Structure 1
Amino acid sequence: MSKNNEGLGKTVGVVLALCLVCSIVVAGAAVGLKPLQEKNAALAMQQNILDAAGVLETGMDVPAVYNDRIKPLVISLQDYQVMQDKNPAEFDNRKAANDPDTSTQLEKANDIAGLGSMENMTEVYLVTDENGNRNGAVLHIRGQGLWGTMYGLISLEDDFNTVRGVNFYEHSETPGLGGEITNPSWVKSWVGKEIYGDDGKVKFDLVKGGADSEHEVDALSGATLTSNGVDALISFWMGDKAYAPLLDKLRKGELTNG
């Protein structure tokens, strides 16, 4: 073998060895950081839930307040019963929606929010006041926006009709247009609005030109498709094929802490 070939062989060997070492280091770092990433993700969700519930304050001990004021339950969206065998701390709504074994494909005519599939179970967060009395609930919502899925939480007062707060914590909408779904002033405009009319049907609506009723919120200026998406996801999730039967049970006191 020529010296050139020997030199090339050594170079390739060194490169392969370096690649192997780097791969081991990266894989080890990923595994080592996973618990911290999961902990941070759980903390962020707790903050989002407390924010939607109107409880979040600057500097508060989020885990402590969450554990004191929030009671998470995994609820079947098929018979609306508490799933006692499911640990809320280990449950992931998004995984449930994406897993064929724990979700149901939606017929196009019923899929007004553009979900594709709907989870068969969901995590619901019952809210209590400072004295431990039931004080509403926080629910997961999601739907198709202009550029992708908008993920959020909506909090209802103890009548399970009046909006306490909303938090769209993940989206890919256009900054300054559809991205205004996170604008604090627009989010605040939801507070006190009512989801249902006297007939029990969803009456909540995003309108152009000025909201003037207890069921209306101003649409986002220059973001028609995002506004339509928000309108559709509220209509779906608050409707009969999603949360309406659950909320009826909560109003009647037929579903409590499990």
Structure 2
Amino acid sequence: MSSSNDSIKKTIIVAFALCLVCSIFVAAAAVGLKPIQNTNKDLDRKRNILSAAGMLEPGKSVDEIFDTVETRIVNLQTGAFASDAEIEEAGINPATYDQTAASKDPQLSVALSGENDPASIKRRVNYSSVYLVKSPEGEIDRIILPVHGYGLWSTMYGFMALKNDYNTVIGFGFYAQGETPGLGGEVDNPNWKALWNGKEVYNDNGQAVLRLAKGGVDSSDPEAIHKVDGLSGATLTSRGVTNLVQYWLGKEGFSPFLAQLRSEGAQ
């Protein structure tokens, strides 16, 4: 009996020691790999921004190209670039600002519900990153805006790039989504993403009307400039894309900011 108890005791001790050693190795690996993971995450973010703006070039590193992109913070409540004092008070580092984390902070975001939340994001940040590409003369050549909203199964995160008329789309794409492969997942299809190039966000009244068209776009339609082919068999994902585009490019999103840039450019 004693020998049996000793055997059980030894088994437990060995199992505990093995678990302890393994946990130490796992923790050490997690800590040691964290800088590499952060670097890769930042590189992926830059690559997606450049891809939306059509700026990726064979033979050039992502970091090399991204050095030409200026990251700024916009106050979505005022529709203007945030001042250094605002940024400091909010505790924001433009280079590392995490909008997903900020959207969960009541001090850095506002709650949305019902008809005020067509993109189903629940909370909208007070401050958003935007990315500027400037000409050699220092003028804004294009601007890249982060957007997100709910589809059928997931929150879709992406970037939209606009020309310096702040209306014409250069590129649009999602870098994170969990929609149905072959249906809503077609938001990742390069052929579909190419359809956005040249489309216009706003109508003559300044309303964000760019949307997906069920059944495809008729080129003879006078509104075709504001429409992109819907995703076949993915009605709810298509609706989600339309909602998030119109929300983030609308009056609660970037519209006041873009209108101010447009006005400054006309002066």
Letter in 2 for 1:234: V
Q: Structure 1 residues 244, 235: CA separation in 2 closer, same or farther (over 3 Å shift)?
A: same
Q: Please say if residues 206 and 217 of structure 1, whose CA atoms lie closer than 8 Å, have aligned partners that are also in contact.
A: yes
- The corresponding residue for 2:195 is 189
Q: Tell me whether 232-241 or 208-217 shows the greater mean CA deviation.
A: 208-217
Q: Does 1:77 align with 2:76?
A: yes
The separation in 2 between residues aligned to 1:100 and 1:158, in whole angstroms, is 33
Q: Which runs of 4+ in 1 moved over 6 A?
A: none
Structure 1 residue 130: deviation in Å? 5.8
Structure 1 residue 252: deviation in Å? 2.3
**Per-residue CA shift, 1:57-82, capped at 9, x if unaligned?**
233211011012x1001222112332
- The corresponding residue for 1:24 is 24
List runs of 5+ in structure 1 lacking aligned partners: none
Q: Please say if residues 138 and 154 of structure 1, whose CA atoms lie closer than 8 Å, have aligned partners that are also in contact.
A: yes
**Per-residue CA shift, 1:113-144, capped at 9, x if unaligned?**
11111111111101124665421210010111
Q: Structure 1 residues 104, 54: CA separation in 2 closer, same or farther (over 3 Å shift)?
A: same
- The corresponding residue for 1:203 is 209
List runs of 5+ in structure 2 lacking aligned partners: none
Structure 1 residue 209: deviation in Å? 2.9
Q: Please say if residues 74 and 87 of structure 1, whose CA atoms lie closer than 8 Å, have aligned partners that are also in contact.
A: no
TM superposition score normalised by structure 1: 0.94
Structure 1 residue 5: deviation in Å? 1.1
Q: Counterpart of 1:248 in 2: which secondary structure?
A: helix
Structure 1 residue 87: deviation in Å? 2.1
Q: 1:242 aligns with which of 238, 253, 256?
A: 253
Q: Tell me whether 53-62 or 232-241 shows the greater mean CA deviation.
A: 53-62
Q: Does 1:253 align with 2:252?
A: no
The separation in 2 between residues aligned to 1:94 and 1:197, in whole angstroms, is 30
Letter in 1 for 2:118: I
The separation in 2 between residues aligned to 1:35 and 1:195, in whole angstroms, is 39
Identical-pair percentage: 45
Q: Tell me whether 71-80 or 126-135 shows the greater mean CA deviation.
A: 126-135
Q: Structure 1 residues 6, 157: CA separation in 2 closer, same or farther (over 3 Å shift)?
A: same
Q: Does 1:10 align with 2:1?
A: no
- What value does the CA root-mean-square deviation take over the aligned residues? 1.5
